[in-house]
A and B are shown apart, each in its own frame.
Chain A
Amino acid sequence: MTELAYLAAGVLFIVGLKGLTSPTTARRGNRLAALGMLLAVIVVVVDLIVDDVAAAWAVVIAGLIVGGAIGFILATRVQMTDMPQLVAAFNGFGGGASALVASAAIVAAGSGVATETAVVTVLSLVIGAVTLSGSFVAFGKLQGIIAGRPISPPGGTATNGVIAALTVIAGIAAVATGEDVWYWVAGGLALVLGVSAVMPIGGADMPVVISLLNSLSGVAAAMAGFVIGNQALIVGGALVGAAGFILTVEMSVAMNRSLANILFSGFGGAPVSDDIGTKPVKRATADDAAIALAYADKVAVVPGYGLAVAQAQHAVKDLASALEERGIDVYYAIHPVAGRMPGHMNVLLAEADVPYDQLYDLDQANPQLTQTDVVLVLGANDVINPSAKDDPDSPIYGMPILDVDEATTTIVVKRSLSPGFAGIDNPLFYEDGTLMYFADAKQALEETLSAVERL
């Protein structure tokens, strides 16, 4: 009976995940998955009661109350602009939980477990520990507690290779000897590895990292399922591991870089070219921007991380509404890796009530951009850099970009002429059709809106 109930939970996870792949069914999908989770929890509690084992219920109930309260407060209080770090933190908790489940098995079993059980215990412990510490470093970077730029460990990325090798050796020793101490060494090294592996990764690569850590938390849960012989954990964990992996690969493809390159290159440390800021640009004021926008037929908005930093999602919606009232066609062109997590811009704009069918992805946006009069770029840089198309020496050469240079006029709102994360100049800024509006995105949008209203 228990196994059948877990099967039902697994089916609910699959149906729920399927629902999450379409906008119309996503909310129901999420709730079905939550229902599956509730079912699995009820089943395990009933199972423990029926078996009439000497259960430490106080510990379970205390844990559920404390964890539930923390989760509830975080999920309901945190602002939408802080969503990437919140997802990273939740992910870290999940990975940590799987590592702890493995730890409990180590403490309970002592020596003498079957080889395959020892192997999955090590895997659950190590993968869970990497997920835990890696996710919290990602959280720190996104929250601004840790510098977002790449920070290489002493000895560079080779150090990470050494730590990874030592972790594997300690894991093998744990399986071979069955001694608890080797498990703890492997788990401790895995915690260090999570930190040293994520530290060298720059802020703009965070969508890939968060997605990969999400996949790892699934794998850790599946391994924990093998440790305790529970099918629900194996199904749920494998689903998430596979889903997270696909997303990770999609993000890498969107940047035209291999996963290995993102994880191990320490990209972003490239020297900044000296002549940035010395070439002439056309500066624009709020009035210039307002005139260009108000007399256009078709306007595209290209949001980037600058939009999130400035919390300008409501301001952009207000300006777009004002333009729409004047009969102007407005759409949003969103690069797959804009922002700090997959789909980051979509969530922010959704918060500001921008309908999702006005959000165009790369393939939909590029044909439209050739027929667009004005493009308003808000704190995006590398995803619109034409060097990716025509300069084989550029570090981002080959990355698919939004072809904003195809539009008649481009207004770039940026706080300064500083280069983006890749540390390279953007020739777009010096083109004739480009106006540079140096300001915080929110301030620029509000000033432009009042200028439009005065017209």
Chain B
Amino acid sequence: MSDAFIAGIVVFVLAAFVGFEIIRRVPPTLHTPLMSGANAISGITIVGAIIAAALADGWLAVVIGFLAVVFATVNVIGGFLVTDRMLEMFKRVPGKPK
């Protein structure tokens, strides 16, 4: 295995632990926005999609690259926007401190 691949595994495992630690004990009120926001973050695959589309060589690669960018962009733009729209609605009783 190449060094870069092993470094990738290290990053993967550490990031997964960070994810576990952050998400424990989240109030149910936030489960939907959290899931929706996390879903938008998984759209990071857009970076891979852009590379695939930019380097596409031949019609099959162009089609795959184009669809990859479309799919990833729907996920990113839609995911972050809809999460923001949901969170905009979350309010406390006016003037009542928590």
Q: Which residues of B contact A222 (CB under 8 A)?
A: 12
B78 to chain A, nearest CB (A): 3
- Known contacts A75-B78, A336-B28; is-contact A60 B54 (Cβ 8 Å): yes
* Interface SS of chain B: helix
Are B48 and A230 touching (Cβ within 8 A)? yes
Mark A1-39 against chain B: 1 for CB-CB distance below 8 A, else 0.
000000001100110111011111011011101101100
Contacts across chains A and B counted by CB atoms under 8 Å = 403
B38 contacts across to A, CB distance below 8 A: 17, 20, 214, 218, 239-240, 243-244
Chain A residues with CB under 8 Å of B16's CB are 238-239, 241-242
- If A17-B41, A75-B82, A247-B35 touch, whether A63 touches B8 (CB-CB below 8 Å) is no
Are A90 and B57 in touch, CB under 8 angstroms?
A: no
A216 CA to B45 CA in the complex, in Å? 13
Chain A nearest Cβ from B26, distance in angstroms: 5
Q: Separation in Å of the A53 CB from the closest CB of chain B?
A: 6
Q: Contacts of A241 on B, CB cut-off 8 Å? A: 16, 19
How far, in angstroms, from A361 to B25 measured CA to CA in the complex? 12
CB of A233 within 8 A of CB of B40, answer no
Q: Is A228 an interface residue (CB 8 A)?
A: yes
Cα distance, A44 to B44, chains bound together (Å): 11
A93 CB contact (under 8 Å) in B11, B15, B71, B89: B71
- Asked if A100 and B32 sit within 8 Å, CB to CB, the answer is no
Binds B, one of A259-267, A293-301, A348-356: A348-356
User: How many Å from the CB of A316 to the closest CB on chain B?
Assistant: 15
Q: Identify which of A26, A87, A246 contacts B24 (C-beta below 8 A).
A: A246
Given contact pairs A30-B33, A30-B87, A234-B8, A37 touches B52 in the complex (Cβ within 8 A): no
25 inter-chain pairs at a CB distance below 8 angstroms, sorted by A residue, are A24-B98, A40-B44, A55-B55, A71-B76, A74-B74, A90-B36, A90-B74, A93-B74, A94-B72, A97-B75, A100-B67, A101-B45, A116-B1, A225-B8, A226-B5, A228-B48, A239-B15, A243-B38, A247-B26, A342-B31, A343-B31, A343-B34, A346-B32, A347-B32, A347-B89
State the 3 A-B residue pairs at the shortest beta-carbon distance, nearest first: A67-B73, A63-B69, A242-B19
Residues of chain B at the chain A interface (Cβ within 8 Å): 1-2, 4-5, 7-8, 11-13, 15-20, 22-24, 26-58, 60-62, 64-93, 96, 98
